[in-house]
């Protein structure tokens, strides 16, 4: 039966904890209700198409493509590895593609306003999310020994993603490229020292970010503070998330003529495609480019006229 095959498929793969939890949830809520008691060999293109149509009309736009990609991967194993099927029934063009909305980008002033309003304990978390472009799970794993205040360095070697249960699981970074050293701008010196002196746990292995009661910070608890702080920042969209801080910082870097390779290293991304997601061109940037083009064209048009000042040759 598909339910047994799919469960074994997930259990026997080296997945990140958050990815495993996502797959298990998609399997339980999206795939098993339709295919659970169906033999793998009886899952046909027609059944997959009917399921995809129903899911697309009843679930969030981002959920069905994820579930479809999981189903396709499971069925591909049945085809390629186990040779249970002659052909993968998941071959609907574009069914696994997602088209997320463009992420919001804050101004530098908005980032500082957000940091000031979120409270002293969490101020550095916001600043590092934006200006060190660290992922939430990387920030959660930070310990005192990972930070060199004098050299302004943060060494990222692990991540602590939060599972749906609220439990954090510390392990390797998202990819090999995620293990990196991040150089910090000097303007963070005061915020770093204040936080380390007042809020980080003691000892080399002390967590840098903990809640008021000394436990690793919870996404739900911090999320409430973040949402409350967001309401006090003028013109910041209500949809702005903590992860948008990372997008903001990477956008600022990309607009400083940063090479794609340098951006990838700082972000901890292993592919150019992933890094390009964070290169954002907003209306202000487009206006600036148009102004530069206008200046260049006007200069180019006027230049010949300005140079055409030489006297006409005299008649011989």
Tens digits of per-residue pLDDT, 95-109? 998 877 777 889 999
Percent of the chain surpassing pLDDT 70: 89
Higher pLDDT, 290 or 208: 208
Please determine, for residue 133, whether its predicted confidence score (pLDDT) is greater than 70.
yes
Percent of the chain surpassing pLDDT 90: 55
Please determine, for residue 60, whether its predicted confidence score (pLDDT) is greater than 90.
no
The pLDDT of residue 281: 54
Higher pLDDT, 249 or 314: 249
Best CA proximity match to 267, nearest among 146, 208, 179? 179
Higher pLDDT, 149 or 268: 149
Residue-averaged pLDDT of the chain:
86
Please determine, for residue 305, whether its predicted confidence score (pLDDT) is greater than 50.
no
The pLDDT of residue 276: 66
Map out the domains of the chain as residue ranges.
2-80, 108-276
Q: Stretch 267-277: mean pLDDT, rounded?
A: 70
Q: How far apart are CA 159 and CA 20, in angstroms?
A: 15
Spatial contact of 279 and 250, defined as CB atoms under 8 Å apart: yes
Topology annotation, domain 108-276: hpI Integrase; Chain A (1.10.443)
The pLDDT of residue 50: 96
The pLDDT of residue 306: 47
The pLDDT of residue 226: 95
The pLDDT of residue 316: 42
Please determine, for residue 313, whether its predicted confidence score (pLDDT) is greater than 50.
no
pTM: predicted TM-score of the whole model, two decimal places: 0.73
| From 40-49, 143-152, 248-257, 302-311, the region with the lowest mean pLDDT | 302-311
Higher pLDDT, 290 or 124: 124
Q: Stretch 160-172: mean pLDDT, rounded?
A: 82
The pLDDT of residue 52: 95
| From 16-20, 177-181, 193-197, 312-316, the region with the lowest mean pLDDT | 312-316
How does pLDDT run across 48-58, given as a tens digit for each residue? 999 999 999 88
What values do phi and psi take at 307, rounded to 5?
-80, -15
How does pLDDT run across 217-250, given as a tens digit for each residue? 888 889 999 999 999 999 999 999 999 999 888 8
Q: For residue 263, give Cα distances in angstroms to 22, 255, 256, 275.
A: 28, 11, 11, 7
The pLDDT of residue 310: 47
């Amino acid at each position: 039966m598909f339910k047994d095959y799919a469960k074994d498929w997930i259990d026997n793969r080296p997945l990140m904890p958050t990815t495993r939890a996502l797959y298990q949830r998609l399997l339980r809520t999206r795939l098993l209700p339709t295919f659970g008691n169906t033999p793998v060999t009886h899952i046909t293109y027609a059944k997959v198409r009917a399921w995809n149509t129903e899911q697309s009309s009843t679930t969030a736009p981002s959920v069905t493509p994820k579930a479809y990609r999981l189903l396709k991967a499971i069925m591909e194993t049945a085809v390629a590895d186990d040779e249970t099927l002659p052909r993968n029934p998941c071959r609907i063009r574009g069914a696994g593609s997602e088209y997320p909305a463009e992420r919001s980008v804050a101004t530098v002033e908005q980032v500082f306003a957000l940091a000031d309003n979120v409270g002293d304990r969490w101020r550095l978390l916001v600043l590092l999310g934006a200006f060190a472009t660290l992922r939430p799970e990387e920030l959660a794993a930070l310990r005192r020994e990972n930070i060199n205040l004098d050299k302004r360095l943060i060494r990222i070697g692990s991540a602590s993603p939060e599972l749906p249960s609220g439990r954090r699981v510390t392990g390797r970074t998202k990819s090999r490229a995620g293990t990196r050293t991040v150089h910090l701008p000097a303007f963070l010196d005061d915020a770093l020292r204040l936080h380390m002196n007042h809020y980080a746990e003691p000892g080399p292995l002390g967590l840098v970010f903990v809640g008021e009661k000394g436990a690793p910070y919870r996404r739900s608890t911090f999320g409430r503070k973040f949402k409350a702080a967001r309401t006090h920042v003028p013109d910041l969209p209500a949809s702005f998330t903590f992860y948008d801080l990372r997008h903001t910082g990477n956008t600022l870097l990309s607009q400083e003529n940063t090479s794609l390779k340098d951006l990838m290293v700082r972000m901890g991304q292993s592919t150019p495609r992933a890094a390009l997601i964070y290169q954002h061109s907003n209306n202000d940037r487009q206006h600036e480019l148009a102004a530069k083009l206008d200046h260049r064209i006007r200069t180019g048009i006027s230049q010949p006229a300005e140079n055409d000042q030489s006297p006409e040759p005299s008649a011989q």
